[in-house]
A = this chain, B = another copy of it.
Amino acid sequence: MAKVGIVGYGNLGRGVEAVLKSASDLELVGIFSRRDPAQLDTESPAYALADIDQFVDEIDVLILCGGSRSDIPDQGPALAAKFNTVDAYDNHAEIPSYFDRIDQVAKENQTVAVISTGWDPGLFSLNRLLSEAILPEGNTYTFWGKGVSQGHSDAVRRVEGVKDAVQYTIPNQDLIETLHAGKSIDYKQGTAHSRLVYAVLEEGADGGRVKEEIVNMPDYFAPYDQVDVHFISQEELDRDHSGIPHGGTVIRQGQTSPEQKQVYDFTLKLDSNPEFTAAVNVAYARAAARLAKEGQYGAKTVFDIAPAYLSAKDGQTLRQELL
């Protein structure tokens, strides 16, 4: 039984709390938050993050559920000095330097820090690696969606006259099917995905102007051939668009000899992005606790951990049941 702590209690932290219930070999010690623990809406034990050092001997691994922008870059190295940690740090450009920083802390303090788990980075990265290693001649394509993009939803909400909004990223299914058929495609940002917006207007706002502003927003919407904007009521938004679904596809189309096309496809369709990300974090928390027991200290990514470490089953059972 490995003992787990959760740091941060937003969507991801709540997801980890939920999925730990079906992990028979992991036990939740408590949730650590910068907010007043008495105010957290949870039945699990809750503590002030400031008191976390008192739990050094009671926790085998911490799952860091803060934001990648400002929380994890500081919290990760600080907590890795005393605890084994798992995080879902997802700022792709900064991952290499984050790895180096936390690796040094973890090695100096004999801890394990598993970084950037989840699905992208995470399982998608794993499949990009596996497919490229197996099919060195070829091309890899990543498609995201159908799912809610928090960044794009926020961008729409910042448009003057918009009261609330949700943005769905939708992959171009025709391109995916063309790849499955072994044919080549021209993957461009503007055609690989389309964008679907449901927005609630402020009273008296000019829908035509709002729509123009969304469609022409640089980086977020302007590069896309297809952007659909629908104005709906707050009631409809709350009723039909309050979920956080996501998913996507990593496809590698390779060839093992000039005539032989081989298509490798990894696809996720997720009702809840934060809960699935949490489920991946929890599996890697199991791995982190084991690696620490074996003295395999330092920073690790999904690339560095043998799959068997993620399962609660032993090697012999895995070979019998799943190989």
**What residues of chain A have their CB less than 8 Å away from a CB belonging to chain B?**
15, 18-19, 22-24, 92, 95-96, 99, 116, 121, 123, 125-126, 128-130, 132-137, 180, 182, 247, 256-257, 259-272, 275-276, 278-280, 282-283, 286, 301-308, 310-312, 315-316, 318-320, 322-323
Bound CA span A24–B257, Å = 15
Residues of B within 8 A of A304 (CB): 306-308, 315
| Contact for A318 among B129, B182, B260, B305, CB less than 8 A | B129
A135 to chain B: closest residue by CB: B279
Bound CA span A256–B271, Å = 9
| Given contact pairs A137-B22, A283-B133, A322-B129, A275 touches B303 in the complex (Cβ within 8 A) | no
Bound CA span A241–B264, Å = 23
Question: Once the chains bind, are A323 and B92 in contact (CB under 8 Å)?
Answer: yes
| Given contact pairs A92-B323, A315-B304, A279 touches B134 in the complex (Cβ within 8 A) | yes
Q: List 18 A-B contacts (CB under 8 A).
A: A19-B257, A22-B137, A116-B323, A123-B130, A130-B307, A133-B312, A134-B282, A134-B283, A136-B312, A180-B269, A257-B272, A260-B272, A262-B270, A263-B267, A265-B267, A302-B323, A303-B323, A304-B315
| Given contact pairs A132-B322, A310-B130, A323-B121, A263 touches B259 in the complex (Cβ within 8 A) | no
Known A22-B256, A267-B267; further 7 A-B contacts with Cβ < 8 A: A128-B322, A134-B279, A256-B278, A257-B275, A262-B271, A265-B269, A306-B306
Question: Once the chains bind, are A279 and B265 in contact (CB under 8 Å)?
Answer: no
Question: Once the chains bind, are A268 and B272 in contact (CB under 8 Å)?
Answer: no
CB distance from A321 to the nearest CB of B (A): 8
CB-CB nearest 5 A-B residue pairs: A256-B275, A133-B310, A260-B272, A263-B269, A303-B308
| Contact for A129 among B257, B271, B308, CB less than 8 A | B308
| Given contact pairs A18-B256, A125-B323, A129-B308, A303 touches B279 in the complex (Cβ within 8 A) | no
Residues of B within 8 A of A18 (CB): 256-257
| Contact for A311 among B129, B268, B275, B316, CB less than 8 A | B129
A89 to chain B: closest residue by CB: B323
| Contact for A99 among B129, B271, B311, B319, CB less than 8 A | B319
Residues of B within 8 A of A308 (CB): 129, 303-304
CB distance from A54 to the nearest CB of B (A): 30
| Contact for A303 among B24, B121, B306, CB less than 8 A | B306
CB distance from A205 to the nearest CB of B (A): 34
Question: Once the chains bind, are B271 and A260 in contact (CB under 8 Å)?
Answer: yes
